[in-house]
Amino acid sequence: MDAQVRSVLRRVIRRIPNKNIENLLKKWNCLSTDQLCALDYTRPKWMIVELVASFCEDNSLNLKQITNLEMMYHIENPDQGVWHACQLTEAQDDAVCVDLTQFKEQFKAHLHGVVRHISIKMKKHEDEAIWIRIAWGDNFSKPNHLKPTYVVHHLHTSYVFISNLMAKHKIFLCQALVMATKHGSIKDGHLSTRSLTGMRELLLRRYQQVFPNAHSSILQERNTLPSHPCIGKEHSGHEDMRHQMSCEAFGHGPTPKLETAVYRLETRYRGNDNQTLSDREEFFRGVVRFSSSSLLDSLRHCVASGMAEGPVTPLLSAITQRGRNYFVITDKGPSVSSQASAQRA
């Protein structure tokens, strides 16, 4: 193995938690049974890294096999790094006919045609997702396998999820995705999170949604605190209404995991007569950020418990309804706007 292969291998092994290394190396199927038995996973991490590296050296493993181990780890542990969503638009008539083989050929052909040195590896996961690993180079340098870009796409859906993409490579990747999926263009989805699982659940509607309904019996199963009978009777109607509104806005049951929602303000101070309170033409600019380990759960609890007034403001319900967590609020009114560009993918 050359120096680059050893660097990539050590980086991959160091990132894998000790409790996951054994099963992952067995699935990798590149080490012999004796070599696997010789590994003591209770030892310090640096010793495990060096021993695995020596075994790979003895087996003359190449870069393709090492990057395969890295992809296996990322596929089994998708909620790492920061993922950004993009949306394919203007689908052509034959977009629904694109199969995996055709997608691979078109995607690789385009990137190999515009970037001289590039490494592309694809895997189809059990959930029908196509995982793509891209190590970028240029006309003068070889692909950098230490900082690859990861792309996840479900064929025949309009969403693409991207992690660790540099701005200078964005145009090449977007062109390849548009051509391979037979769409007209691709746009920023204004959604980013560390949880790829939560992002897919939100955009592909894989969580338990609740739609407005005059009969809310499906929402009655919830934990309630004991209270005085008279007080409980007086407030039960309000509690049911708040619970119904919170579930309609953020779903019922486990919610997609999002950590933040960002609102960028471009407004002016106005009085009761809707007149500006300052003669200056410049906007008042600021950023409001909501953060939580599980933001949608927190917002749902705030509404259901009465901490936030109902009905739920469109500024918050738009997170699930529009599948975004980055918004721009302009001076045109209280509606949610997306005229400004979102964060880079």
**Does the structure show a pLDDT above 50 at 339?**
no
In this structure, the answer to whether residues 185 and 115 fall within a common structural domain is yes
Query: Higher pLDDT residue, 4 or 219?
Result: 4
Answer whether residue 32 is part of any domain. yes
**Does the structure show a pLDDT above 70 at 328?**
yes
Answer whether residue 212 is part of any domain. no
In this structure, the answer to whether residues 313 and 222 fall within a common structural domain is yes
Q: How confident is the model at residue 342 (pLDDT cuts 50, 70, 90)?
A: very low
The amino acid occupying position 2 is D
Answer whether residue 336 is part of any domain. no
DSSP letter string over 133-186? EEEE--SSS---TTS-EEEEEETTSSEEEEES--HHHHHHHHHHHHHHHTEEEE
The answer for residues whose C-beta is within 8 angstroms of residue 268's C-beta and 6 or more apart is 276, 277, 278, 283, 284, 331
The last residue of one of the domains, among 58, 76, 94, is: 76
Q: What is the pLDDT of residue 262?
A: 94
In this structure, the answer to whether residues 226 and 165 fall within a common structural domain is no
**Does the structure show a pLDDT above 70 at 225?**
no
In this structure, the answer to whether residues 325 and 229 fall within a common structural domain is yes
In this structure, the answer to whether residues 225 and 287 fall within a common structural domain is yes
Q: What is the pLDDT of residues 232-276, one digit of tens each?
A: 555 566 777 888 888 888 888 888 999 999 999 887 766 566 565
CA dihedral 329, 330, 336, 340 (to 10 degrees): -80
- As a whole number, the mean pLDDT across the chain is 84
Q: What is the pLDDT of residue 74?
A: 93
If we measure between CA atoms, which residue out of 56, 58, 83 comes closest to residue 68? 56
In this structure, the answer to whether residues 242 and 304 fall within a common structural domain is yes
In this structure, the answer to whether residues 29 and 111 fall within a common structural domain is no
Answer whether residue 287 is part of any domain. yes
Q: Residue 54's Cα: distance from chain center in Å?
A: 35
Q: Which of 19-23, 278-282, 327-331 has the highest mean pLDDT?
A: 19-23
In this structure, the answer to whether residues 230 and 309 fall within a common structural domain is yes
The amino acid occupying position 123 is K
The amino acid occupying position 265 is L
CATH number for position 176: 3.60.90
Answer whether residue 344 is part of any domain. no
Two tokens, residue 120: 């592309």
In this structure, the answer to whether residues 124 and 193 fall within a common structural domain is yes
Distance CA 322, CA 146 (A): 35
Query: Higher pLDDT residue, 173 or 208?
Result: 173
What is the rounded average pLDDT of the residues 181-189? Answer: 94
In this structure, the answer to whether residues 122 and 172 fall within a common structural domain is yes
Across 46-50, 99-103, 270-274, least confident range: 270-274
CA angle 279-284-287, nearest 5°? 175
β-pair type (183-193, 159-163)? unpaired
The last residue of one of the domains, among 76, 98, 117, is: 76
Answer whether residue 345 is part of any domain. no
pTM: 0.83
Query: Higher pLDDT residue, 115 or 329?
Result: 115
Could you tell me the residue range of the domain that residue 246 belongs to?
A: 217-253+258-329
**Does the structure show a pLDDT above 80 at 224?**
no
Answer whether residue 210 is part of any domain. no
In this structure, the answer to whether residues 105 and 193 fall within a common structural domain is yes
Across 78-87, 230-239, 253-262, 332-341, least confident range: 332-341
Q: Which of 209-213, 219-223, 311-315 has the highest mean pLDDT?
A: 311-315
In this structure, the answer to whether residues 139 and 222 fall within a common structural domain is no
**Does the structure show a pLDDT above 70 at 327?**
yes
Domain tally, the chain: 3
What is the rounded average pLDDT of the residues 33-54? Answer: 91
β-pair type (284-291, 260-267)? antiparallel
Answer whether residue 341 is part of any domain. no
* C-beta of residue 111 within 8 angstroms of C-beta of residue 176: yes
What is the spatial order of strands in the sheet that 284-291 belongs to? Answer: 284-291, 260-267, 326-329
Buried b (16+ CB within 10 A) or exposed e, 320-330: beebbbbbbbb
Q: What is the pLDDT of residue 249?
A: 86
